[in-house]
């Protein structure tokens, strides 16, 4: 029996999770709740010009997020064509959660903590919101990791996994 490779499904799921997690951040926190924008600590959106400059950088953020999601789809399609990649729902769901968590942790550490270009919710409690964002990301990573570990038992490739 040829060796099985989980890597292609792992990378596809994590890329999709990162992209979808980025969209949650951009759509929910930037646009619907309007808690922050990409550069809102450097350039507070308190004038129309500043708001529109932030809108441009939010747009670039969304463009990169779209590219991550699209790359995830391409990787998933290619993984589905391979007979040596186990097609596991648990692994894929774990990667989606883990990817979202990875996005939150990386973005939270770099943009909120390290560079301070924006905070989750600017104000007297911004540190608590930033830490909460990181903890939520860590929880997603742990939940995703548990699902991925459980998915190790699944070894059937895609064609054989589908019911007749």
Partner 1 sequence: MRRFNALTFQTALLASSAVFACETCRPAVEAGIFNEHFWGRLAITLLPFGVVLCVVAPLHFLGRER
Contact residues toward partner 1 (CB under 8 A) are 1, 3-8, 10-11, 14-15, 18, 38-39, 43, 48-50, 52-53, 56-57, 60-61, 64, 67-68, 75, 102-103, 106-107, 110-111, 115, 117, 152, 155
Identify the burial level of 160 via C-beta atoms within 10 angstroms of its C-beta, where 0-12 means exposed, 13-18 middle and 19 or more buried: exposed
Nearer to partner 1, 35 or 66 (CB): 66
> Shortest distance, CB of residue 88 to partner 1, whole angstroms?
11
User: Is residue 80 a contact partner of residue 136, using CB atoms and an 8 Å limit?
Assistant: no
Based on CB atoms, which residue is closest to partner 1, 71 or 122? Answer: 71
Q: How far is the CB of 124 from partner 1 (least distance, A)?
A: 25
b/e 62-80 (16+ beta carbons within 10 angstroms → b): beebeebbebbeebbeebe
């Amino acid at each position: 029996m040829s060796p099985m490779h989980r890597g292609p499904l792992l990378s596809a799921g994590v890329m999709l999770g990162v992209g979808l997690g980025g969209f949650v951040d951009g759509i929910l926190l930037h646009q619907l709740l309007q808690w922050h924008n990409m550069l809102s600590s450097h350039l507070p959106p308190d004038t129309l010009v500043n708001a529109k400059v932030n809108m441009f950088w939010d747009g670039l953020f969304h463009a990169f997020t779209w590219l991550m999601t699209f790359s995830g789809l391409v990787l998933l399609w290619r993984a589905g064509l391979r007979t040596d990649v186990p097609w596991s729902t648990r692994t894929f769901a774990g990667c989606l959660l883990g990817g979202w968590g990875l996005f939150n942790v990386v973005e939270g550490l770099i943009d909120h903590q390290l560079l301070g270009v924006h905070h989750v919710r600017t104000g007297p409690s911004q540190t608590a919101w930033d830490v909460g964002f990181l903890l939520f990301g860590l929880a997603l990573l742990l939940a995703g990791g548990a699902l991925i570990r459980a998915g190790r038992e699944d070894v059937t490739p895609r064609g054989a996994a589908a019911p007749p």
